[in-house]
Amino acid sequence: MLHLIKIQNSDSVGRREFLTRCTKAGLSLTTACALAYWFYDPMAPSGRQKVDVLPGLPDYSVPEMGNRMAIVRGTDRAKTIRLALEAIGGLERYIRPRDRVLLKVNAAFASPPMLCATSHPDLVTEIARLCLKVGASSVIVADNPINDPASCFALSGIEKAAREAGAKVVLPRRDSFRYFTLEGGLLIREWPLLYAPLQSVDKVIGMAPLKDHHRSGASMTLKNWYGLLGGRRNIFHQDIHNIIKELSMLLKATFVVLDGTATMMRNGPTGGSLSDLKETGTMIVSTDPVAADAYGASLLERTLDELPFIKKAEAEGVGMSDYASLNPKILTTD
Amino acid sequence: MPKKRTRTKGEALLGFLILAILVLIGVMVFLQQFQFNPAVTAHRILEGGMEQFSSDLPSTLVPLPDNFTGMTPLESFTPETLYEKINGQADFYLASGFLGLKSQRYVHTDNQDMWFEVFKYDMGTKENAFAVYSQQYREDGLPLQWAEFAYYAANALFFVHGQDYMEMRASSTSDDLVAAMHEVAKKYVASHQNPKL
């Protein structure tokens, strides 16, 4: 009031002028508030790039071949895999001329081949060579080891094995990943997936060593797809059996290879000593990954109850844990 | 009737100048929001990984014998980043009080196939270090005398030193390589006589 009186008494501002100025000030304030409201973002930046979610992955299986399985005894990986592939009908029935093939190996660690923590280079060489022999136009080898992928592929011997067989190792890069949501999945939702190698091929062969795993009990062909996950995937270790189940639903491979030539019986998945290995002399090839893992469990001396992810994958229709129902061909190279 | 005061030329110029600066700031803020620096949201990754690039760290984790040299930089992992190195094995160490891992590979200067890797797990206490040592014990291991808890299994050495659990893994079972690894381990223990317990 005192202020108004002072203004009224001043010799520079009249009543009309005062009201005009008040109106202008009010309009300025309203405009500023409106602009601030327009720019206001109630959500903090997520820090994540634009999500372009994939609806699904292609089916790489060969349905007309049905469910087939071969179990071959022997210690020479090149011989056992050749015999196993013949036993499931011949590689040429799965890989057509000009097919582009992806070998999804386990290259999780920069570990020497003798420790069997990664896919064995002899096996990589032979499968890549056979694929090219039956007419594949290209064979690529991929995985997503988190720590220094180049070292993992080099020290595991996989890079050299692939190169010598005429295949090419594809190292994961930032732009190799796409966000993916598994339909019906609870865990794989808008999660980065190593997509670039999958996008450019017609057939996918999963190649897994047979290992103990501290968290899941075993690392075999179903767990092998974990290597397709990007991001801070360690969070899934808290629900390991369900993430393996969802991974099994994610991708239908052409067939899987479970290398039980030497099995890491304890201290997996890294191992570290030859003492962790047992010579189990078995190569398993199957179009049904659940059956392959169920048989692998017996080599690892585990029951199916100790490896719940196998039954969970079976419940989702991924395959059959009763591998005997596939009438597997059991052969020996020796 | 009071005489209306008119603004001077200087006041008008100053007013326009201030408005121009405000508009310029507004435009800059508007444009900058489209160039958000991802490093701001990557701070968690950097916190775990910076140490491996620090120049303050020693170049080697252990004293090296002749004919061996560093093959890779010294790497460092925290509880948040341990999985990047050992993946599914990380939970085993985390459950036993893991604080940090340092690792490095060393290679023979004349034979690139002869290399070994040292893993130094800081487990916080000697009891924690013994816990991970004993749970992973290989039954066929040969006990070693230069440390209280140490053994050799095929291609690898495993021992407890203070609050550290250490592994040395060789790329082969070559006698020369295994002998070099034994020498490294003994020298390391001798040069760290008062480890933290």
**Structure tokens belonging to residue A243:** 């993430």
Sign of the Cα torsion B141, B115, B121, A229 reads negative
The pLDDT of residue B53: 39
Closest among B2, B88, B191, B58 to A229, alpha carbons compared: B88
Flag residues of chain B having pLDDT under 50: 37-57
User: Could you tell me which residues of chain B have a Cβ less than 8 Å from any Cβ in chain A?
Assistant: 1-5, 36, 38, 40-42, 72, 75, 83-92, 105, 115, 117, 136, 138-141, 153-156, 158, 167, 169, 171-173
**Structure tokens belonging to residue A287:** 């179009």
The pLDDT of residue A42: 73
**For residue range B109-159, what is the model confidence (pLDDT) as tens digits?**
999 999 999 999 999 999 999 999 999 999 999 999 988 899 999 899 999
Separation CA A203–CA A129 (nearest Å): 15
The pLDDT of residue A56: 75
A256-293: b (≥16 Cβ within 10 Å) or e = bbbbbbbbbbbbbbbbbbbbbbbebbbbbbbbbbbbbb
Query: Chain B partners of A45 at a C-beta cutoff of 8 Å?
Result: 36, 41
**Structure tokens belonging to residue A46:** 């997520």
Closest among A61, A63, A69 to A286, alpha carbons compared: A69
Q: Cis check for the bond before A269: say yes or no (omega within 30 of 0).
A: yes
Count how many domains chain A has.
Answer: 1
Query: Chain A partners of B86 at a C-beta cutoff of 8 Å?
Result: 109, 270
**Residue at A73: amino acid letter:** R
Q: Which domain holds residue A185?
A: 63-332
CATH code of the domain containing A98: 3.40.50.11440
Residue A241 lies in a domain: yes
Q: What is the DSSP letter of A171?
A: -
Flag residues of chain A having pLDDT under 70: 1-11, 43-52, 55
Distance from CA of A151 to the nearest CA of B (A): 9
The pLDDT of residue B9: 86
Number of other CB atoms surrounding residue A312 within 10 Å: 19
Contact B88 A219 (CB under 8 A): yes
The pLDDT of residue B60: 84
Residue A1 lies in a domain: no
ipTM score assigned to the predicted complex: 0.77
Residue A291 lies in a domain: yes
Separation CA A143–CA A145 (nearest Å): 6
Contact A146 B87 (CB under 8 A): yes
